[in-house]
Structure 1
Amino acid sequence: MPKNYSRLTLEEISAEINVSRTTIYKVINNKGVVSEKTREKVLTALEKYNYVPNNNARNLAMNKKYRIALIDFESPDATYFSSSVERGIQQVMRDYGDHGLTIQHYTSPVHHPAQQNKDIHEAYDRGIRHFIIASADCTMIQSELDWLAENDCTVILLSKDIPDSPCDAFIGIDEYKGGKLAGEVMGKMMPVGGKLQILMAKESSSNIMTIKTRYQGFLDKIRTFSNIEVLPVASDLSGKEQIQETLLKILETPGLSGIFDLTYQLELVSQVLRARHREDLKLVGIDLFPEIRSYIADNTIDAVVFQNLEAQTYLACRLLFENICYGKTIKKEKYYSKLDIIMSENLEYF
């Protein structure tokens, strides 16, 4: 079942406190004659139900609902993904919940991408025509995106771009530039003549486009540093035991100076390096999540390239709300988030 994010309408508040909508509207807008006792009762209820007066009080007064379906996934390889989306939804509801915004949040396991197709149709059958989709399998969902476009639905892709899809916008990062930025950071930290190892996760339908693009960006940049030897990629890594065993063998490499992580298991890589007291190695990764904060703080991880997924979710919801409520056009373009470099000295700001 999807999570439903909404605020009480004026009619629902009216029923809760047994005061007419007209009277509540008078209190909200400070108009008309209302007894002090009733006014106090209404204000107490508005505070209880977390209503904040705003320029869209008319939406609440008219019981208008602006409905969005957000469809994403949970992945054991990136456990922070869906929780970051969740925090973005909570933030947008704090700002727009009183404007009549309702979000139906559908989350399914990444290894069951067909569920996303079912969720799309369930939301459509509920009358929702505005969608935010973070695809678990870009190939499998393509036909559904075509179907949504044929039925005049508005769709924003979140985090994962699908080239040539009929969607209205993409919100995420330029994965190639993210890889290049990581390559630049690593290149400037590595010692002359140092050896660099790249760790790469086993490709899957959910990560293949992201990993390949990040890897290519990193490789293109790191090759501009002539003083670095890039070792053969340790690829197809999957599962805790395999990653640990592979990494322990890699640590025996003479002259090893740096590791770039694309396993989505940066916390596991960090744990091994910390246990082996390999503070001499430069470790760079992509994405920030709670499990790695302590490793950044003690410099086990030297730097990560950060994308603000919460902000991306917020922007997607805001663009759709403004489109539904005000008729504001969504530019058919890619809304790329800025990329930040996080190290121990600025970790506290993220």
Structure 2
Amino acid sequence: MVTIYDIAAKAGVSAMTVSRVINNTGKISDKTRTKVRRVMDELGYVQNQMARSLVLQQSNLLFLLITDITNPFYTTLARGAEDAAKKHGYRLLFGNSDESLDKEKDYLDTILATRADGVLIAPTGDSSLPHLETLRKHDVPFVLLDREVPGMESDIVLGDSKEGARRLVEHLSSLGHKRIAMINGSRHVSSARMRLEGYREALKLNDLPYEDQYVLETAFEPRSDLSAIEHWLAEMNPAPTAIIAGNNVLAVEVIRTLTAQGKQVPDDMSLVCFDDLGPLSEINPFLTVIAQQAYQFGYLGMQMLVDRLKERGEPTVPWKKIVLPADMIVRRSAVACGCGLTDTCLGG
């Protein structure tokens, strides 16, 4: 392994000069700095980041922990976070919890071991509280994304889930749908709770009944076994004419299940959801969605984290909360309900 002493010997300077060039400290002439960096490149020097972070008490590393990288919402969010981190001179490490508390805990250990300066995190749910408390205990600043955790005050970037659900119900109601079902994430996840609350309130505002049978509480992550969705669709009586999916992953799974049953969206069932499908929607603009500002979630969240790092050691600064509005994009997956003449209609 090449050391600063090897570089110093070849460049004809002191080890202290090499250290100052590497850490960009002290007064070094441009000529000397250029010569040292040329030797570093020739010898293939790789800086020991861990040693540097121990000396400076700063790693220049930030960590992004999300729940599902296969979801285009989080993919775009990660792009925004990386762009903001790079703008401020930070490198970004990444983890994917798959909605698993155990994986989240493993990544928490990695965050502490790498001495990351701060964390941008979409928690798995309410049960993430002890993990966040550990970060705070070790004085690691963090910003929450997309989900609140009861009992933990922090900087946070949220979408308006309640309003989004209300707009989806109103859209379906305007098309004549009266039996509107919802497949949603766990109520132990704040965004799912708010979407369910918005759904229930919108039904009431539109003089539509709420029935427990029309709500399936599941998880936001993708799965290979669709039996729970199959059972839910089969058991609802009378069948709904439209379904709201709590995110795009669930919407795709509803489509897969209906297709396996020989049914189609929107001919046999209207379907709308939260979050767009990224580039797929450009190729095949089909799903009507509440499109959240995924890139801004990551970019603004990272900006908040960097701001919090800059404020370290200063008098306590109030926690910041950003709620990003979403756009409803109307496409072809929901059509006017044609079931007005019969209660046995199976779709839109």
Q: Which TM-score band (shorter chain)?
A: 0.5 to 0.7
**TM-aligned CA distance change 1:216 to 1:324, over 3 Å:** closer
Correspondence 1:276-315 to 2 at 5 A: 276-277=263-264, 279=266, 281-290=269-278, 293=281, 297-298=285-286, 301=287, 303-315=288-300
Structure 1 residues 171 and 202: CA distance shift in structure 2, 3 A: closer
- Look up the equivalent residue of 2:298 and give its one-letter code: T
CA distance in 2, matches of 1:271, 1:150: 44
In structure 2, C-alpha distance between the alignment counterparts of 1:151 and 1:130, rounded to whole Å: 11
1:265 is aligned to 2:250? yes
Q: In the alignment, is the contact (CA less than 8 A) between 1:266 and 1:292 conserved in 2?
A: no
Tell me what 1:120 maps to: 108
Change (3 A) 1:297 1:122: closer
Paired with 1:266 and 1:273, the residues of 2 have a C-alpha distance of 11
One-letter amino acid of the structure 1 residue matched with residue 173 of structure 2: G
Mapped contact 1:196–1:260 kept (Cα < 8 A):
no
Q: Which residue matches 2:343? A: none
Larger % of strand: which? 1
Cα deviation for residue 215 of structure 1 reads: 1.3
Q: Is 1:270–1:295's contact at 8 Å kept on the other side of the alignment? A: no
Q: What residue is the counterpart of 2:84 in the other structure?
A: 92
Q: CA deviation at 1:266?
A: 0.7
Which of residues 151, 158, 172 is equivalent to 1:186?
172
Q: Is the 8 A contact 2:82 2:92 kept in 1?
A: no
Match of 1:195 in 2: 178
Structure 1, residues 192-244: CA drift from partner, whole Å, max 9, x if none?
xx432313247485x4x332321121111122113x45564142568434424
1:125 Cα deviation after fit: 3.2
CA deviation map 1:258-305 (0-9, x unaligned)? 32223742123345668635545542211112486279724xx3x211
| Range that drifts further, 239-248 or 215-224 | 239-248
User: CA separation of 1:123/1:230 partners in 2, compared to 1, >3 Å: closer, same or farther?
Assistant: closer
CA contact (8 A) 1:319 1:330 kept: no
Kept in 2, the 8 Å contact 1:286–1:306? The answer is: yes
1:164 Cα deviation from its structure 2 partner: 2.5
210-219 or 143-152, larger mean C-alpha shift: 143-152
Distance in 2, matches of 1:202 and 1:317, equals 26
Identity percentage over the alignment?
A: 14
Q: 1:102 aligns with which of 91, 94, 112?
A: 91
| Aligned counterpart for 1:175 among listed residues 151, 154, 161 | 161
CA contact (8 A) 1:71 1:120 kept: no
Instruction: Measure the CA separation in 1 of the matches of 2:80 and 2:117.
Output: 21
Give deviations 1:179-204, integer Å, cap 9, x for gaps.
2232232233x32xx43231324748
Post-superposition offset of 1:156: 1.0
Residue 338 (structure 2) aligns with: none
TM-score (normalizing by structure 2): 0.64
CA distance in 1, matches of 2:301, 2:59: 17
Q: How many residues align?
A: 287
- 1-side partners of 2:85 and 2:173: how far apart? 42
Q: Return closer, same or farther for 1:33/1:216 CA change in 2, 3 Å cut-off.
A: closer
TM-score, structure 1 normalization: 0.64
1:279–1:204 CA distance, 2 compared to 1 (3 A): closer
For 1:323 and 1:211, locate their aligned partners in 2 and report how far apart those are by CA, in whole Å: 28
The answer for unaligned runs of 5 or more in structure 1 is 1-10, 25-31, 46-61, 346-350
Structure 1 residue matching 2:179: 3-state secondary structure:
strand
Q: Deviations over 1:244-266 (max 9, x none)?
A: 4644676984xx54322237421
Indicate whether 1:159 and 2:146 are aligned: yes
Partner of 1:333: 320
Tell me if the contact between 1:287 and 1:306 (Cα under 8 Å) persists in the aligned partners. Answer: yes
RMSD across aligned positions (CA)? 4.4
Q: How many Å separate the matches in 2 of 1:229 and 1:292? A: 34
Does the Cα contact within 8 Å between 2:255 and 2:264 map onto a contact in 1?
no
Q: Is the 8 A contact 2:63 2:92 kept in 1?
A: yes
Q: CA distance change for structure 1 residues 184 and 296 in 2, over 3 Å: closer, same or farther?
A: farther
Would you say 1:210 and 2:191 are equivalent positions?
yes
Answer yes or no: is the 8 Å Cα contact 1:66–1:325 preserved in 2.
no
SS at match of 1:344: coil
Question: Contact conserved, 1:66 with 1:324, CA < 8 A, in 2?
Answer: no
Aligned-partner SS, 1:160: coil
